[in-house]
Amino acid sequence: MHGKGRVREGRNLSRTITLLLSLLLAACSGFQTPLDPTGDKAAGVAWLFWFFTAVCAVVLLGVVIALVAGIVRRRTGAADTATPDASRERRMGVVVGMATATTVLTLIVLTFFSYFATRGLGATSSDALRIRLTGKQWWWQIEYEDRDPSQSFTTANELHVPVGRPVTLTLLANDVIHSFWVPNVAGKMDLIPGRTNTITFTVQKPGTYRGQCAEYCGLQHAHMALLLIAQSPADFDRWRTSEHADAPTPDDPEEAYGREVFLRSGCVACHSIRGTPAGGLLGPDLTHVGARATLAAGTLPNTRGNLQGWVADPQGIKPGAQMPRLELTATDLNAVTAYLAGLK
């Protein structure tokens, strides 16, 4: 019976270790992890993490070895006497001195590597794509800048960038402190009211990466996500041309009626749609909202049903959001969401 119990305990331990290792390995990949870097700055941060981890492991191993050696020496050595041993005291002094010097040197090395790994976060490049990113409660306003003002445009919550080209974000906030963090791409940088910060990075691999506000900013802080979509230069140029265009005029009768509902309801007080009289500045630009992957800054997938639920009762989905509930009839709700879904 005891033998079977030990076998069962061994199997349980093996399963536990396997599960823990699986969880650790799962955390090393994905679209929101600093351990799977796809940007130049994120690669430096990941290298710094592994370097710190290795140094700390060596330090821990040294402490454990010293502890075990002390225990063994105490058990096998002669009994302590009241007479001090001068040679032993000298040896202990040398050991303590070496340990102190090693600790100081280790801290200097860690500080040195940390400085050089993070000093380039704010560096700029002359050919960088320049974007103004403004954090708001609780969404992201994204303004693509151009030397020709007519080529600039505004979108929200999805940051499209070309692979292989430096991107410089100008970070702003007009309510509370937010923090930009896309772990796969770059380190963290705060958005502070009254102050302008910048961060520059180059994405090296196409894909979609999830970002998150990393500074507590209020009730819906956890629902303030950002998608960074890295595309080939050709795909990015096509997206930029499409995004710069005005909203399409609907041909479908329901969508056309939805456009009328949008323009005569309270939506126009907060939202803008280029190519229409809607020019509100309080909420996200909705010119091409139908092409986005999520709604309400990553809170919901962008489907027709979720769009209806969001328009009908935003406070039920994201309590505290500044979007009020509009008392629309079922017909008007269906029409306006059909129109918004068609804005691609």
SS (H, E, C) the chain: CHHHHHHHHHHHHHHHHHHHHHHHHHCCCCCCCCCCCCEHHHHHHHHHHHHHHHHHHHHHHHHHHHHHHHHHHHHHCCCCCCCCCHHHHHHHHHHHHHHHHHHHHHHHHHHHHHHHHHHHHHCCCCCCEEEEEEEECCEEEEEECCCCHHHCEEEECEEEEECCCCEEEEEEECCCCEEECCCCCCCCEEECCCCCEEEEECECCCEEEEEECCCCCCCCHHHCEEEEEEECHHHHHHHHHHHHCCCCCCCCHHHHHHHHHHHHCHHHHCCECCCCCCECCCCCCCCCHHHCCEECCCCEECCHHHHHHHHHCHHHHCCCCCCCCCCCCHHHHHHHHHHHHCCC
36-50, 177-191, 310-324: least confident range: 36-50
Quick one: what percent of the chain has pLDDT higher than 70? 86
Contact 270, 139 (CB under 8 A): no
Give the end of a domain, one of 177, 199, 233: 233
Q: Is residue 80's pLDDT more than 70?
A: no
User: Across the strands, what pairs with 158?
Assistant: 227
Per-residue model confidence (pLDDT) at position 66: 81
The verdict on residue 328 lying in a domain is: yes
The verdict on residue 240 lying in a domain is: no
Q: Are residues 40 and 172 in the same domain?
A: yes
**CA-to-CA separations, 102 to 92, 95, 97, 324, in angstroms, rounded:** 15, 10, 9, 61
Q: Are residues 155 and 294 in the same domain?
A: no
Confidence of residue 206 (pLDDT cuts 50, 70, 90): very high
Number of domains in the chain: 2
Give the end of a domain, one of 179, 205, 233: 233
Q: Are residues 228 and 173 in the same domain?
A: yes
Taking the CA of residue 115 as centre, how many other CA atoms within 13 Å lie in the half-sphere pointing to its CB? 6
Say if strands 158-162 and 225-231 run parallel, antiparallel, or are unpaired.
parallel
User: What is the arithmetic mean of pLDDT over 31-60?
Assistant: 83
Quick one: what percent of the chain has pLDDT higher than 90? 55
pLDDT in tens, 91-123: 777 778 888 888 888 888 888 888 777 776 666
Sequence letter at residue 197: N
- Cα–Cα dist 11/178, whole Å: 47
Answer with the residue of higher pLDDT: 29 or 154: 154
Q: Are residues 181 and 304 in the same domain?
A: no
- Cα–Cα dist 31/184, whole Å: 7
The verdict on residue 9 lying in a domain is: no
115-129, 155-169, 273-287: least confident range: 115-129
Q: Are residues 215 and 106 in the same domain?
A: yes
Would you say how long the chain is, in residues?
344
Q: Are residues 209 and 273 in the same domain?
A: no
Give the end of a domain, one of 177, 204, 233: 233
Sequence letter at residue 332: D
Q: Are residues 54 and 140 in the same domain?
A: yes
Q: Are residues 292 and 150 in the same domain?
A: no
Contact 127, 164 (CB under 8 A): no
The verdict on residue 21 lying in a domain is: no
Q: Are residues 224 and 112 in the same domain?
A: yes
Q: Are residues 191 and 135 in the same domain?
A: yes
> Given strand 139-144, what is the order of strands in its sheet?
153-156, 139-144, 129-136, 167-173, 197-201
User: What is the arithmetic mean of pLDDT over 267-277?
Assistant: 92
Sequence letter at residue 27: A
Per-residue model confidence (pLDDT) at position 96: 80
Taking the alpha carbons of 126, 128, 129, 133 in that order, is the dihedral positive or negative? negative
- Cα–Cα dist 103/336, whole Å: 65
Q: Are residues 209 and 261 in the same domain?
A: no
Q: Are residues 184 and 318 in the same domain?
A: no
The verdict on residue 76 lying in a domain is: no
The verdict on residue 12 lying in a domain is: no
Containing structural domain, residue 293: 253-341
The verdict on residue 311 lying in a domain is: yes
Per-residue model confidence (pLDDT) at position 109: 85
Quote the pTM value: 0.79
The verdict on residue 182 lying in a domain is: yes
- Cα–Cα dist 54/188, whole Å: 23
Q: CATH number of the domain that 308 lies in?
A: 2.60.40.420
